[in-house]
Amino acid sequence: MKRRLIILSAATLASLVSWNSGAQQVYAAGVFASGTTYWSAGSTTLPFPPFEYNMTEISWLETSNGDYICGIPETSEHFVTRRSLEVTCGSDVFHLPLDSGPLTQFQYTNDVPIAKGSGDLAPVVIQCVTSRAGLSTTNTLPVIHASWLLQTRTNEDVIILDGDHFTQVQNLLEQSYGKADGSICTTNFAGGDCRSINYTPSQIGVFFNLTRTWDDTTIVSIVGNNKP
């Protein structure tokens, strides 16, 4: 995947990334300010709690010592690109790492530990749904080989998958619960080949969002109360 970064000077600077996806040139745009770029991963307005669900990819540069770079670097020193995911779920805001480094920038005091996993993702997803009083399924589950990060919070599970597994997870959900709710739309402002689908509590007992971001990261979000 070939990428090119263009920085445009403005009160806040716009960043444009272009890369080749097969034979097609794909573009995504973010906002650059004070050394940090923000890419919309999806914005969803809901007619039920949490009413607002937004995801933003954040990227920035650090030195090899972990120091944050504010602004555009003017030297040829070797820098490391860091990435995290900011999630706004109603009044709750938290961050998850999108790389293997320790998350020091954009870390909040209410952030909880991350669990790494690999193998068959399908039973992990269904377990997250049923543990929050969502519907179970007796259908045979398709196998989804993947690696992931999982954060379990009071009212939400977030699974970040390494690579594009959108279609596989979508097939799992459709075999288990039927089609997604087409009336709940997720808006993406970054562009690129982004996709999102949503299931509502009236369908499966929890709010379920599946998103593929502009850089082919797959994100599974399951919002609901834990079983008593």
pLDDT of res. 29? 59
Q: What is the pTM of this model?
A: 0.82
Phi, psi of 45, rounded to the nearest 5 degrees = -100, 130
Tens-place pLDDT, residues 169-225: 999 999 999 999 999 989 876 556 688 999 999 999 999 999 998 888 999 999 998
Which amino acid appears at position 102 of this protein? P
Which amino acid appears at position 167 of this protein? T
Q: What angle do CA 102, 36, 99 make, to 5 degrees?
A: 30
Tell which residue, 101, 84, 92, has the closest CA to residue 41: 84
Confidence of residue 78 (pLDDT cuts 50, 70, 90): confident
Q: Are strands 115-120 and 207-212 parallel, antiparallel or unpaired?
A: unpaired
Look at 12 and 157; give whichever has higher pLDDT.
157
pLDDT of res. 63? 79
Rg value, the chain, Cα = 18
Give CB contacts under 8 A, 24+ apart, made by 76-84: 83/57, 83/58, 83/59, 84/57, 84/58
The answer for residues whose C-beta is within 8 angstroms of residue 58's C-beta and 6 or more apart is 36, 37, 38, 39, 83, 84, 85, 86, 95, 106
The answer for residues whose C-beta is within 8 angstroms of residue 191's C-beta and 6 or more apart is 26, 27, 28, 29, 214
DSSP assignment of 107-167, as one string? --TT----EEEEEE-HHHHHHHHHHTT-----SPPPP-EEEEEEEE-SSEEEEEESS--HH
List the chain domain ranges.
Answer: 3-223
User: What would the two tokens of residue 11 be?
Assistant: 């009160």
The whole-number average pLDDT for the span 53-62 is 89
Q: Is the pLDDT of residue 46 over 60?
A: yes
